[in-house]
Structure 1
Amino acid sequence: MTTSIDFDRYDRVRPIRWTGEALELLDQRKLPFTVEYVRCDDSDAVAAAIHALTVRGAPAIGIAAAWGVVLAARAIEAADGAEAAARLDPAMQRLNAARPTAVNLAWALARMRRVLAVAGHDWRNVLEREAQAIADEDLAANRRMGALGAALIVPGSGVLTHCNTGSLATAGFGTALGVIRAGVAEGRIDQVFAGETRPWLQGARLTVWELQQDGIAPTLIADAAASHLMKTGKVQWVVVGADRICANGDVANKIGTYQLAIAARHHGVKFMVAAPSSTVDMATASGDQIHIEERDPGELFGVGGVRTAAQDVGAWNPVFDVTPHELIDAIVTERGVIERPDATAMRAAFGD
């Protein structure tokens, strides 16, 4: 199969736009019916947008936070990077607190701190160049891992994905959806299934819309239909993204990922995680150590602003779950493919 991919055809959506004066974020809460960008003029507006899911997806959150630091820099004066770092620390802490589970957020902020530490009087320009580099590197990484992941898929396969891991969640092309885009472009994937992904319906609202923009016809399923779909034999791979990959290969991702991995193993369906190396957290030994973010239980009480649950009921609303590495067939990053990931394989790929 050819590895030549028409990126212009399969990479049309951009969720983050830097104008030179402000950050514009495609409001993913309003898709697919309204395509509208939210303008952020300061770092607190960026933090609020991250928390409110205006921008979402681990890589996109990190990129947005980096530009948030650039905006925060406009509100302070400092002679050099070291002084600026101290004055920017409160803003960076607020950005970091917006979504604590996604490691890309802290990773991007750490990169901004590192370049500040050695910057001189031109520290503002240094920050802007670093934010742009984070975005550019993410796009290149996504295209690379798309090709690597697609190469694992036998031509004629069906795939199932969860949540949204495409251009909307990244600088472009996507992680798991990048693998799917590459697989479709190379003729390896015949059919794409997308789970709806309750309660925010990222699959129903975002993934199927995004695939449509590229001329790919997805089939939407209810989350609860995934096991039955696997039983029919129409799916050979489940391909998902990640918000954090631990040192032993455990993966935190959107709630519902764990049960897909269990069902996939039972039905002999392969399970792939595609994420940039920035998502790997070798300082976290296993998924047991991951803080699982919980959101407002009220998000479960309705759909699209219409209440569907009885009054005066309780709810539990974790945003992520952890898939044990034993259930993962391959982790794909821009650095390569780790098959049957465990602590030894992760050390070999990413060091200590």
Structure 2
Amino acid sequence: MTAFDRIRAVFWESGRLHLLDQRRLPTVEHYLDCTRWREVAEAIRDMVVRGAPAIGIAAAYGVALAARERSERELAAAFEGLAATRPTAVNLGWALARMRRAHDAGADAGALLAEAQRIQAEDVAANRRIGALGAEHLPAGRAVLTHCNTGSLATGGYGTALGVVRSAYAAGRLTRVYAGETRPWLQGARLTAWELQADGIPVRLIADGAAASLLASGEVGAVVVGADRVAANGDVANKIGTYALALAAAAHDVPFLVAAPLSTLDADTASGAGIPIETRGAEELLSIAGQAIAPPDIEVWNPVFDVTPARLVDALITERGVVARPDAHAIRRLLSAPAHEEIP
């Protein structure tokens, strides 16, 4: 591993899939061992593993586990069951489609495992490239603000937006990171703060509601976030609260940057209006760590994601290049370029 990069939340070892249980961070660092695809599906559904790339990678390993059963019926159930776990992140469907193509081409259990491992290795390599490209677009000697968790915990390793942070800090371009707490699951407070501290990168936690005031202060040089899906027109689905952050950044002339691998780009969804937005249970808003914080009978609306219009995105950072003001033409160009070609 490179500097400021010691964490892996998903890894295969000794014939089983190991998943860092992110529900128990930051107080307990505990890995679940999965030997069956249904355990992987449950882990994805229950937020043991989260983050669009990590979900796709875990699902790919789930298919590899199912293949060991040597039953086409079980493998078909795995493809269907894993696909149903989380609807918003496009990486899930992308990874499962890649595993299905390998299976249809005759891959056995060993070859399917190798394919899942390639998916993870390619994700890490893409993230390191995203980090290097994105670091060059951050104002030197300033802080950045990020939202949710987009690091090694949310990917195969290194991270997307936090990959940019890691590369920028290693290059001496970054003073500190401000992490929004990211209610209701507190991924910023529990995960991003923990991950950056573990790698020795200066981080300061803020309440989500403090973001606009922080941007008004002039200390932040850019906002850098990840994405769960980028539509064909450049609209971005990401953790709830991202849209408000983009509006605040635009109001204060702070660049709003989205870091995402090509696997997150969805050419089949015309705009953000077509992205399915997952909603979750009321208990996530009604309590924290089992402690009630609201009247138990209050009505709740709990969308997990929101959509930031492309007009608010100053740049999209991918492993194939950085695109200013992404639109439908830019997304088509990124997806159609040969794999070895970098978009200037």
The answer for the alignment partner of 2:169 in structure 1 is 184
1:17-71 Cα distance to aligned partner (Å, 9 max, x none): 2124211100000001100001111111100000100000101001100000011
Task: Tell me whether 1:336 sits opposite 2:321 in the alignment.
Answer: yes
Q: 1:125 and 1:74 mapped to 2: Cα distance?
A: 8
Write out aligned runs for 1:62-81 (5 A): 62-77=56-71
Partner SS state of residue 193, structure 1: strand
Q: Distance in 2 between matches of 1:187 and 1:9?
A: 13
Q: Distance in 1 between matches of 2:139 and 2:55?
A: 32
- Would you say 1:293 and 2:278 are equivalent positions? yes
Which residue pairs with 2:2 in the alignment?
A: 8
What are the residue-to-residue correspondences of 1:189-228 with 2, within 5 Å? 189-228=174-213
Match in the other structure for 2:229: 244
**1:237-276 aligned within 5 A:** 237-276=222-261
Code of the aligned partner of 2:159: G
- Counterpart CA distance in 2 for 1:8 and 1:311 is 47
What is the match of residue 45 of structure 1?
A: 39
SS of the counterpart of 1:253? strand
Structure 1 unmatched runs, 5+: 1-6, 78-83
The residue matched to 2:184 in structure 1 has which SS? coil
What is the rounded CA distance, in whole Å, between the counterparts of 2:172 and 2:221 in structure 1?
Answer: 15
CA distance in 2, matches of 1:17, 1:341: 33
Identify the residue that residue 82 of structure 2 maps to in structure 1. Answer: 95
- Give ranges in structure 2 of 5+ residues lacking alignment: 338-344
Q: Is the 8 A contact 2:315 2:324 kept in 1?
A: yes
- % same residue: 58
Return structure 1 stretches of 4+ with deviation > 2 angstroms: none
Q: Secondary structure at the match of 1:17?
A: strand
2 CA distance for matches of 1:173 and 1:348? Answer: 26
Distance in 2, Cα, partners of 1:344 & 1:318: 30
For residues 20 and 111 of structure 1, the distance between their equivalents in structure 2, rounded to whole angstroms, comes to: 24
Query: 1:30 maps to which residue?
Result: 24
Coordinate RMSD, CA, aligned: 1.2
1: CA distance, partners of 2:218 / 2:330: 30
Q: Are the aligned partners of 2:64 and 2:112 in contact in 1 as well (CA < 8 Å)? A: yes
Instruction: Kindly state the Cα deviation for residue 348 of structure 1 after the two structures are TM-superposed.
Output: 1.8
CA contact (8 A) 2:175 2:202 kept: no
TM norm structure 2? 0.96
Q: 1:115 aligns with which of 102, 111, 115?
A: 102
- Please name the residue that 2:336 is paired with: 351
2:265/2:331 contact within 8 Å kept: no
Q: Post-superposition shift, 1:8?
A: 2.6
Q: What displacement does 1:117 show?
A: 1.1
The reply on whether 1:17 has 2:2 as its aligned counterpart is no
* Aligned partner letter, 1:141: A
Once the two structures are superposed, the pairs formed by residues 150-189 of structure 1 within 5 Å of their partners are 150-189=135-174
CA distance in 2, matches of 1:89, 1:108: 15
Aligned length: 337
SS class of match (1:53): coil
